[in-house]
Structure 1
Amino acid sequence: MAPSSARRAAVDRSVLSRSASFEKVVFLIIDALRRLIRSGAAMPFTMKTGSPSLTRACVKAMTIGSPSIFLDVFHNADDGPGTPETTDTWLAQLKAAGRGELVFYGDDTWIQLFAEVFDRGCPISPLFVPDIHSPDLNVSTNAMRELQRDDWSALVLHFPGIDHVGHMGGADSDFMASKQRQMDAIIREIYEALETEAHLDSTLFVAGGDHGMDRWGGHGGASDPEVSAAMMFISPQFKLLNRTYESPVAPTVGAFDYYTVIRQVDVVPTMAGLLGIPIPSASIGVFAHELLDLWSDIKDRANLVLENLNHLSALFCKSDTGMDVCQTDLDRHHLPQEPLNEKSLAELSLMSKKFQNALDNATSGNIQVSILHYGIAIAVIALLLACATCKSTLPLNRDFLVLNLFQLGHSLALLFPYLVEAEHHFWFWSSTVWMGWVVFTTGCHSYAVGLRSLTPVVLHLLAQRWNIHDRSSPEEVYSILGLLDRRPLCLWLLIAVTLLHTSYTFAAQSRRNVTRDAEDNPLLGLAHRAVLLFIFVFKFASAARIRPGLIDRAPEWLQGIILEQLPLTRIAQFVFVSLAIGLGYVALRSHARDASLKNEKATELLPLLEILNLYLIMQTVPANIPLLFIYRLQLEWLVSSAVHLSPFQVCFAIVLFTHSAFFALGNANTIAALRYTEGFNGLQAHHWLLSPVHTFCSNYAGPIWWSGNGLRLLVATGQGERRSPSGFFEHLGLRTLFVAYGLLGAMAACYLRREEAVVWTVMAPKFLYTVLWTVPFHLLFNMGMPTGLWAVAQL
């Protein structure tokens, strides 16, 4: 990361001191703003953020001037007071100037970061994604009132609505155009106030986005759509420059480079120069050269550029950058001498850019190696302990060799950035090869039977093409979901088939498990179908509210009921309460069973798994629900062949299918792939526990499904029986072995790549996902959930 402090660089006293162009600033940030360029007295730029392109990191870059660090990922979803920043900012410098109060309205990330800076305002939590209107309305109402007052020097506004729309329905959401028009109207109203209100005649208006978004509405990675945002400096004074800008419909160079490109950290020295305050001490930004024309005296311009240059050189020569050049060496860089002109200023700006690039390169790979050492040591200890507890992987036997060859291949793949970004290929191919091997070894010699045995392989290949996996490609990539997206009726038919098959399977299981309380089975079946009906209504209505086009051909009275009158929160709460009651009933009924039935193979496991499956359907986005049907068909075939599988092969199958399902559902090794919509099912506001749990289960629905339902493979091989608990514990040990091996491989790859910039852009997100696989998923769903299911089923 960039140095946290530096001594103030002395300004060249041979040049006359400059004066500030503006006394006040309205700093307006539209979360995930892409393109809101309007005609008028504005200078537009295309601003490039760092990675991760998340709100917290971007706010720090625009105020402190230091590049993003991936640690901000862990703080970005914090709903508490956060960790205040004590680093110097242009906000703190403006407050020290004593020109007036600092006011803030919007995303409370700013208050978490700079709790002591703002004098008044109304922070709001932006974490409740389904609310796309009230946060923006709160900010705009307060902003219009503040524009009538004259006691502030900075009015910071952060609108989260566009970001919420993107997360709900993607960049092409039905609500995106209306939300953009709303933001455009707010910008117009603020600019009109600057023109008409006398106390605002020396006010700078800055409007822009904190980050971009990809076409799915995600952000956090390093792709061009995610790191490109618009930034405008607006003031009636700009009209005196007689500059006009077109509104291009196509970029000039890059995919989103519509105007002059600046870096997000460049906002900091630019704000300092325009407001006449010192540059914050940790800033590595460069003043936007195009704004120098606001000063008519070329000496004022030179003073701005030289102040910026001296500041960067002071950072450049600090020991923690690893550089040898000091500020006293500037004369050897052939600084242009008097007379100053536009050419010499351009050369000075170019030199500042070189310092900036050197600082960025010197700190981009700066990670704490000691922490990696501790982490690798812990992973090695966990691996050794897991090996010691697993009898099926004794040294030099076949399973031991398969384990090591497989994990070694995965670890080697992590050394190549492209393979990390496209990790789905590794899991898709390995799981397909394994499935083919099972078909080959367990199939009969009959041609007809062998042909039917290919069905699970075909289904597996179909699941791999369900979602788009190349998120960095601006082009449309073929996928099954892409076809269904243009034919929503076909998608809903598949969802209905999935639910009907779930109902049929549950009824069949009930008939096979007839006991002394068989009279309860019809009632259980009816309750199960009722919950399925409520789930279908909820999924359809919630999807229609995100994309009203789904029901545009329905009668108006029906559209009104679906979009306005259905209490979706109550419906979701009913489903969750019903599942909780069902879980309790199954546990109590299992406890009351006859001893003779308890000795059978996990008689209550299937009802427990059905409750899990219903929850996962609720937490899966509608487009991916048919995948759970495909997985059920695959599992049925595997269960019929499980008698031929060893304990290691059962665990290996679950490991392969959990990871394959993760990527098949559209996930990737980038923060932008995270989905938030289903994380608020049944909630009316963000909840500190339920929201993260729902969100995690939504993104890991496929892996959780295989981790739980995979126990049926264990039961089919006889390893999950009550009289043989050692087989179950062997299974848990093998799962831990795979997780520890994967953690060691990811940390070793990060260590070997520690000096390269790719450690932040590619390896850091991969490591974050490895942590999620290791801690919450392994502890809760690899170990805790199977243990709970197995224990209840064996009561």
Structure 2
Amino acid sequence: MQTCKRSCSILIVLLAAQFIGLGLFSKGFFPYKASLPGFSTIEEHPKLPNGDKAAPLVPKFDRLVFMLVDALRSDFVFGENSDMNFVKNLIENHHAVPYTAIATAPTVTLPRIKALTTGSVPNFLDAILNIAESDTSSSLLSQDNWLVQIKKAGNKSISFFGDDTWIKLFPGVFNTTDGTTSFFATDTVEVDLNVTRNVKPQLSKPDWDVLIFHYLGLDHVGHSGGPHSPLMRPKQKEMDDVVKIIYDTIIDQDTQRMQANKNAKPTLFILCGDHGMNEVGNHGGASIGEITTAFVFMSSKFNTVKHVHDKMSKNHDPPSFRYYKVVNQVDVVPTLSYLFGVPIPKNNLGKVMLDLLVDTNEFEKLRVMQLNAHQLSGILQNTWISFDCNPNITLQSGKNCDQDADDVKTRLQCLYWLSYYYHAMALNSIDANYISNASFFYDKFISESSSYISSSFSDYDVGSMYWGLLFMGFASVCFVIVLVNQNARRRKQIRNREKYNKLQFLSYLGTFGLCITMFSSSFIEEEHQFWYFWIQTMWFGFIIYSFRSSKFVHDQILALLSACQMILIRIIRIWNQTGQKYAGEIDLRFYFNTSHVYYMWILFFCSMLILTTMTLREILVTRLIQGKNILQIVLQLISVLIIIFIAFSITKYKLEIDGGSILFPDIFSWIIMIVPITLPVMLARMIYATIGASLVLISLLTILQSKLRNTQGEQNFFDNHVYSLM
């Protein structure tokens, strides 16, 4: 009893150390990101660098349609295999301005929406909040964003339809909403139809100002079957049809509005993605496919202007996914702010896309860059109190500063001074060289400031992380020592100590190796590769042990079985490429599906028959013959029926999606009579609920039955398990 109390006390202390370490590490890994409070106002805009009063901002557009297609990777729009032909025709005919937009990690929906609306750089804590559907702590009502700015500026109406994450982020902002949940990843149809049904009715209303549509189906197709799924191109065609409906409607409406009212301005239509996807269809990290998205700006204003966004050479590296001019995803925020005549959000890190300013002169472009630079200087002043946000350009020292200084603050301050200096000189003398220099230094200041602030917001608190690792490492080492001491006592009760010691050593070694791999995200993504290696190593260890054993006949059979297991695991490894890095490579499954289709189907039918037969044999022969309880027998029979239904449902689903209904029409017709409708989502829920409940009840009844037969034996059973856990 005393030993048990001491062990429990030690475990409690070690557990507390683990939690302390985890807290310290989390504090360092999720750093606090200081943001400027409040909202930008027109009154905060600076005067022109020469001291003159600037003209008020004039909106370039009256209305906005913001269509966000979840996981819209750049090649899904611009690639040769894309089925978004209408969008590509608009680009080729210079009626739309395309960009390749780069998103930053984490590439999940909630952080990307924050980036697209506030212009800030979210961190990985936002990725965690993205999973919590009920979370309300991530609301953006208190953070400056272009939605609130547009709504305040002209009392415009904003309506939203699609992923309900927007509704949680902007409560009370939208006049009309129709949200859909994003966590039923197998739904690739209804989740988009619920959005599309609102398109025509909303566009037909005479008083709409801003419409936001967030489509989820393409992302769900990626999660279900990857970017090369048979459903991907039809989904692209569906999105392309929606774009055509919106574009044709707003062009007709703009023509009528501007004929009726000479002061009316056109509508801006933006098609974009929040992130991309990798070759498996997943996203969240920073691989090239996950961070590369498409941006397309469409409007009647662009119809008469030929843009310079020519497609990159066809010889460019396809995995780069870079087709047109590359911009940062957050660049849309200051661009939208200027195009609609509202202040740039305070925490924006983007840069205005000057290519979209098609009807502005050079001085207006300089004013745009000045406002962009002034907004970024406010963030820098929050970092360095002495940073000069309103430089006095009459001071000649500004022209002679060190623009190549190693100190970041000195360099950025110099670039800002030079921007103001040449801008003021351009206003006073209207010299092309001054205009060019001012544009150059503004661009350099904005780019370097944005890069520096982004990296500083992503910096980790390394000290806290080290202390956290120290606490967790200390607790882990102490726990291993306690476990070894406990097992040393148990070894005295085990007869075959030699075999026990070797198996125990291999188990400890494998656990230790797995823990080491957890320090690398690449190893975590490819964890199955570790298990492939370690399982093979274990089987090889059994083969070596069997040849050294004195029980020759019995252990040689074990060696043969181990060798067969190694061969089977090797076949499994090359059968289907999984994980993140090698999912797109050719595997044995692809070879069978393309070159030996009938052999593939024979293997499938044989596998289903063998697995189903083995499962039914386990339930009917091994279990049912031992059970005498009526409830247990009924549950086992229910399990049998469910297993048969699942086998037929999986077979029907496989025949439907892989063309088996054409190759084997008789088999498909026969299965339809048994399983008329296949609903994968409902089927999965039924499997989890029914099978899980049945197995739990069977296990409970078995334990109760054993306990009634041998109370003392059952007590020893629980004692041994509790002791092994300690």
Q: Same fold (TM over 0.5)?
A: yes
State how far apart, in whole Å, the 2-side matches of 1:125 and 1:377 are.
40
CA contact (8 A) 2:64 2:210 kept: yes
From 71, 83, 89, the equivalent of 1:32 is 71
**Is the 8 Å Cα contact of residues 273 and 293 (structure 2) preserved in structure 1?**
yes
In structure 1, give the amino acid aligned to 2:560.
L
1:120-159 matched pairs, under 5 angstroms: 120-159=176-215
One of 76, 94, 110 as aligned partner of 1:56 = 110
Aligned mates of 1:505, 1:113 — CA distance in 2: 51
Which residue of structure 2 lines up, in the alignment, with residue 240 of structure 1?
A: 304
2:56 is the alignment partner of 1:4: no
C-alpha distance 455-67 of structure 1, shift in aligned 2 (>3 A): same
Where do 5+ consecutive residues of structure 1 fail to align?
601-720, 734-795
Q: Deviations over 1:234-280 (max 9, x none)?
A: 10111221237667795745521011111111111111121111111
Aligned counterpart, 1:230 = 294
Partner residue of 1:69 out of 123, 145, 154: 123
Gap change, CA 1:559 and 1:526, over 3 Å in 2: closer
CA distance in 1, matches of 2:308, 2:721: 72
Deviations 1:660-690 (A, max 9, x none): xxxxxxxxxxxxxxxxxxxxxxxxxxxxxxx
| 1:552-701 matched pairs, under 5 angstroms | 552-555=662-665, 565-566=677-678, 575=687, 576-577=689-690, 579-581=692-694, 583-588=696-701, 590-592=703-705, 596=709
Question: Partner of 1:71: helix, strand, or coil?
Answer: helix
2:589 maps to 1:477: no
SS at match of 1:106: strand
Distance in 2 between the 1:428 and 1:11 partners?
66
CA distance 1:307–1:440, change in 2 (3 Å): same
Deviation at 1:70, TM superposition (A): 1.0
Q: Is the 8 A contact 2:185 2:220 kept in 1?
A: yes
Q: Distance in 2 between matches of 1:392 and 1:50?
A: 48
CA distance in 2 between counterparts of 1:298 and 1:260 reads 21
Equivalent residue in structure 2 for 1:539, among 639, 650, 659: 650
* Structure 2 residue corresponding to 1:93, chosen from 149, 165, 169: 149
Output one character per residue of 1:186-245: Cα deviation in whole Å (capped at 9) or x when no partner: 111111122111348521111111111223322222111111111111101112212376
Q: What does residue 18 of structure 2 align with? A: none
Report the equivalent of 1:510: 623
SS of match in other structure, 1:156: strand
Listed one character per residue, the Cα deviations across residues 366-414 of structure 1 (whole Å, up to 9, x for unaligned) are 358647745763674476357536644569x979987876666555555
- C-alpha displacement at 1:283, in angstroms? 0.9
2:544 aligned with 1:551:
no
- For 2:651, the aligned partner's letter is F
Rounded to whole Å, the distance in 1 between the matches of 2:67 and 2:292 is 17
Q: Map of 1:268-279 to 2, 5 A cutoff?
A: 268-279=333-344
Aligned to 1:357: 451
> For 1:241, what is the secondary structure of its paired residue?
coil
**Alignment correspondent of 1:729:** 722
The residue type paired with residue 444 of structure 2 is L
Distance 1:366 1:461, change over 3 A: same
- 1:291-306 paired onto structure 2 within 5 Å: 291-292=356-357, 294-306=358-370
Amino acid at match of 2:562: S
Report how far residue 465 of structure 1 moved.
Answer: 3.7
Aligned-partner Cα distance in 2 for 1:257–1:131: 30
CA shift at 1:136, angstroms? 2.0
Mean Cα deviation higher: 98-107 or 551-560: 551-560
Measure the CA separation in 2 of the matches of 1:354 and 1:49.
18
Q: Does 1:453 align with 2:509?
A: no
1:431 and 2:535 matched: yes
Instruction: Give the C-alpha shift of residue 418 in structure 1.
Output: 5.2
1:170 aligns with 2:226: yes
Do structure 1's residue 288 and structure 2's residue 338 form an aligned pair?
Answer: no
Q: Separation in 2 of the partners of 1:561 and 1:288?
A: 59
Residues 440/89 of structure 1: CA separation in 2 closer, same or farther (3 Å cut)? same
Inter-CA distance 521–74: structure 2 relative to 1 (3 Å threshold): closer
Residues 342, 259 of structure 1: alpha-carbon distance in 2 compared, 3 angstrom cutoff:
farther
> Are 1:62 and 1:267, in contact at CA under 8 Å, matched by a contact in 2?
yes
Paired AA for residue 220 in structure 1 = G
Once the two structures are superposed, residues 671-730 of structure 1 have per-residue CA deviations (whole angstroms, 9 ceiling, x without a partner) of xxxxxxxxxxxxxxxxxxxxxxxxxxxxxxxxxxxxxxxxxxxxxxxxxx7535443224
Shift of 1:509: 2.2
Give the one of 428, 439, 448 matched to 1:345: 439
1:261 aligned partner: 326
Choose the corresponding residue for 2:165, options 105, 109, 118. Answer: 109
What amino acid sits opposite 1:241 in the alignment? V
Is residue 65 of structure 2 the alignment partner of residue 22 of structure 1? no
Change over 3 Å in CA distance of 1:589–1:408 after alignment to 2: closer
Which whole-Å CA distance do the structure 2 matches of 1:477 and 1:522 have between them?
A: 47
Deviation at 1:304, TM superposition (A): 0.8
TM-score by length of 2: 0.73
**Residue 440 in 1 paired to residue 544 in 2?**
yes
CA RMSD of aligned residues (A): 3.9
Counterpart CA distance in 2 for 1:520 and 1:119 is 56
d(CA) in 2 for partners of 1:509, 1:185: 57
Contact 2:653 2:678 in 1 (8 A): no
Partners of 1:416 and 1:573 in 2: how far apart?
34
- Of 238, 248, 256 in structure 2, the residue corresponding to residue 192 of structure 1 is 248
Q: Is the 8 A contact 2:160 2:174 kept in 1?
A: yes
Residues 541 and 346 from structure 1, CA distance in 2 versus in 1: closer, same or farther, beyond 3 angstroms? farther
Do the aligned partners of residues 272 and 252 (structure 1) sit closer, same or farther apart at CA in structure 2, a change above 3 Å counting? farther
Q: C-alpha separation between the residues in 2 aligned to 1:43 and 1:505?
A: 63
**Aligned-pair distance for 1:324?**
3.4
Letter in 2 for 1:88: D
Greater gyration radius: 2
SS at match of 2:659: helix
Match in the other structure for 2:641: 530
Aligned length: 607
2:409 match: secondary structure: coil
Q: Is the 8 A contact 2:96 2:299 kept in 1?
A: yes
Q: Please state whether the residue corresponding to 1:21 is helix, strand or coil.
A: coil
